[in-house]
Amino acid sequence: MAERNPALIFLTSNEAADLLRVSRRTLERMRVDGSGPRYVKVGAGKRSRVLYRETEIDAWLTKFSFGSTSEYPTRG
């Protein structure tokens, strides 16, 4: 069996929220304010399906990965 391309593995909003252990509503808010992982809209219009690439979720999480508290970004 052929290996699947990780960039072609998509999660629904519910699956992505479960993976990130946040509510679906939190994930929706993150889409609105641009603070969450990149997503794909499948189709045209406001009600088109939103999907998340697993690779995008992983890349987004990597930006928030720290080895110590001294690595936290500072404000201002």
Residue type, 37: P
The predicted pLDDT at position 59 comes to: 96
pTM for the whole structure = 0.81
38 domain residue, yes or no:
yes
Domain count, the chain: 1
1 domain residue, yes or no:
no
46 domain residue, yes or no:
yes
**Mean of pLDDT over the chain:** 91
In tens, the pLDDT along 19-53 reads 999 999 999 999 999 999 999 999 988 889 999 99
The predicted pLDDT at position 16 comes to: 98
Could you tell me the residue range of the domain that residue 55 belongs to? 6-64
| 65 pLDDT more than 80 | yes
Burial class (CB in 10 A: 0-12, 13-18, 19+), 50: middle
CATH code, domain carrying 42: 1.10.10
47 domain residue, yes or no:
yes
